[in-house]
Structures are given as structure tokens and as C-alpha cells.
Structure 1
Amino acid sequence: MAKVTLTVNGRTVSGECDDRMLLVHFIREKLGLTGTHVGCDTTQCGTCVIHMNGRSVKSCSLLAVQASGAEITTIEGIAAQGELHPVQAAFKEHHGLQCGFCTPGMVMTAVDMIGRHGGQLDEATVRHELEGNICRCTGYQNIVAAVLAANQQMHGATRQAAE
């Protein structure tokens, strides 16, 4: 057994796990944060995307012990108290989800993408960066529209705050 200590959604947590436990299972089973989904366990589908040290990663591709000491943000940690994150709100407004299984991973990927591109996103870039996230329901059009709308809202909000 190994001891794992993480900062998850701003809170320091520790737990013991088998040396071979995947980070996604540690998050779900040891921490009870079930918004991070398990799809394929092979890094193909993207349902398990979280942010580790500020960047999106597929949590089924890492052992929990490899992440020890890291800062983790899950889907549960991106919203402000009582309000949806702008990306979550855009997914709702633009009908970027159907069954919802892929949505947490899509949202986490989109938040990272918007942050890295500083408001400079186009449809081709969004589609390219979402290639690691599979949705079997929506056909992606509404997801892309939601990401572009969130990008516009967040970029506009950033510009206004600077003025």
C-alpha cells in the first residue's frame, strides 16, 4: 500500500491505495468525487479528464502514486460557489450534452483549452483539441458551439476586467 497526498479542489487530502491504482479510481473511490467518469481505462475516450497542476490530463493514464503532491481540479471544483463555470453554462445553453457521460471530460478539456489559447480559438482548433474526447450522442456540433461561446464570454470578461 502507498500513501497518496494531493490537493484536490483546493483541499489537501490523503489516502492509502494499492501501488497500481489509477488516479481516476483514487478520485472516485477514495475521495468520493464521482463527477470524473471512467470510460475506457485506455486514454481513448477522455471521460476521465481532470486538471493536474493546471493542465488537463486523462486520469486513467496515471497511477495515483505518480500524482502524489500534485494539485488536482475535478469537475466538482471548477464552479464558483452556487454558480456554474462559464463553460458549464455554455454547455447547458448550447445543448452541448445529451446523456452527459462525456460532459465532465469535455468541460475540463475546454476549460484548459480556453485558458491556454487566451481567447484566440476558432472552430478548427476546438475540433482538433477535442479529438481525445469521444461523444457518442451529440455529433459534436453543439459541443463546439458551446466551447466557442464560452471562449467568447470568458475572453470578453477578461478584456472588460482589464479596462
Structure 2
Amino acid sequence: SLSCLQFYLREEDLGKNRAEVSRTRLAELNSYVPVVAYTGALIDDYLTQFQVVVLTNSPLEEQQRVGDFCHSNGIKLVIADTRGLFGQLFCDFGEEMLVIDTNGEQPLSAMISMITKDTSGVVTCLDEARHGFESGDFVTFTEVQGMTELNGCQPVEIKTLGESYALYQYLVRS
């Protein structure tokens, strides 16, 4: 049987190299992207030609070695692996990469009924359920009327002030 589920393998491919068998089927996805099946060792000289390296099913030692090399040479790295029902995903897109997503869930949104014009404006949200924001979360704004300078602003850290069920307030720090 196959060691992992893969959409580009067929029963007649058993015993063959997955990279070589998958290459032509992957190439059909986008004719503008060249797809090459490389089955050699991942030596540093080979890796230098890439902007992004993706590793799958590689031992931890190889992940660390390739990761160290890619990081020190400005090559972006994605490591993905599955172990039955569980999986792992690691991304290193360089020193300038900033991750502010704390839980991987879709961003929250809330309707705003009012914003004060103070230096640290108090934003009042009007909704029938809790807004779900917590102190330390970051927000940005869209479709604000009257204070259009907030629309599309960089994420701003907030401090929650109340937890009522109909009207919510949180402090926007500038």
C-alpha cells in the first residue's frame, strides 16, 4: 500500500518513485510552471537555485540542516508532514516575517455604532452577541463614515473595556 494519501498516484504506480510519477500530473495544473522531479541528495549547491524550498516526509535532521541553510541564505522554507491523523506545518519566510495570528481562526468582525474622537478613541460596537475581542488583539477598520482616516489603517492594538451583550466598547490606542 502507499505510505501516504496522494492524489497524483495510482495503483499502477506502486513501487515507483513518487516524485517521478507525480511530475507529469502536477505539471498539468499550470503549463506556465516548470515541474522537475529531483531525486538526488539535497545538497547546499542544489538548494541555492531556489527562492522557496518545500520539504515533505523528511527526517528531522534533514529538516534542521536544510532549514539552517535556507534561513542563512534568504531562501524561504515550508516543511509539511503527516503522521496518520496528525500533521505539522512549519514556515520560515525570513527575518522580516511577522505573524500576529494567535489561533489560526478567521478574523473577527463587528459592526461599529460609534467612535469617540479622543487620542485613545473608544469604539462602541453594536451587535447581538459578544464581540469576542480581547485586550492585546489587533483591529483594523473598513467602511467607517465620518472618520475615514481609519479605513484601511495598519492593525491597532486594543484594550477591552466592557463585556455587555448588546453594546461593547474597547479602547483603540494610537
TM over 0.5: no
Structure 2-normalised TM-score? 0.20
Q: Give the greater-gyration-radius structure (CA).
A: 2
TM-score (norm 1): 0.21
